[in-house]
Homo-oligomer: A and B are copies of this chain.
Amino acid sequence: MPTSTRRARERANTRARIIEAALHILENDGVTALTIRRIADAVEYSAPVVYQHFANKDALVLELVAHGHRLMMAELRQAAEEPDIDRRFLLLASESVRFAGEHPHLYQVMNDNTVDAEERLRAAAPMIGLLRELLTTWSDAHDVVLADFDEACDIVWGTLSGIASLGRIDTVGNERAQQLARKATRTLLRGWQADSPVNA
């Protein structure tokens, strides 16, 4: 049945075009401009067509959130290749904040509360995984024993999120926020190092 596969391919294609258009509108004109009718216009369809591909607007936005995290991980991949673990940690901290500044509206929907918390957490899983890996190799490299690994991981995660939010638009300015992220992680790591039983 070649026709049904072609139909499915077309369906998937317009679905992808919808996501792409939504992303474009979001990044260019902000979250308030992200409306079903504008998305439909951008893909040259009428509004109800969108509902053939997504249950509702939240489902579509959730897709943008997932896309945003994939994009962020992709932009971080280069920084992740820095061999020195300390430099890598700081670099990834500042680069994740830079991402927030370069994609402010996308970062907004990625971290804001309108979308379901559980789904958001799932979408952020790769980033959290990256942080876990950073923390383990860092603590191994410096013979640091973390009293509670998960706790330390959540602290870094929360800290970077908070500082990225500061630097998302203009609260402190993005390059300063990047510097804050570097300093904050450096200080956190220094603190854990000082706490480690080896140094006690």
Contact = CB atoms under 8 A, between A and B. Distances in A.
Interface of A: 108, 111-113, 117-118, 120-121, 148, 151-152, 154-155, 157-163, 165-166, 168-172, 177, 179-180, 183-184, 186-195
Contacts of A186: 191
Nearest to A97: B158
Copies in the assembly, this chain: 2
A168 B111 CA distance: 12
B154 A158 contact: no
Contacts of A169: 113, 117
Contacts of A151: 179-180, 183
Chain A at the B interface: mostly helix, strand, loop or mixed? helix
A153 to B, nearest CB: 10
Contact of A163 (B159, B180, B187, B192): B159
A18 B192 CA distance: 49
B168 A158 contact: no
Nearest to A163: B158
The 7 closest A-B pairs by CB, nearest first: A162-B162, A191-B191, A187-B191, A190-B191, A158-B163, A158-B162, A161-B162
Contact of A159 (B113, B162, B195): B162
A45 to B, nearest CB: 27
Contact of A194 (B111, B158, B193): B193
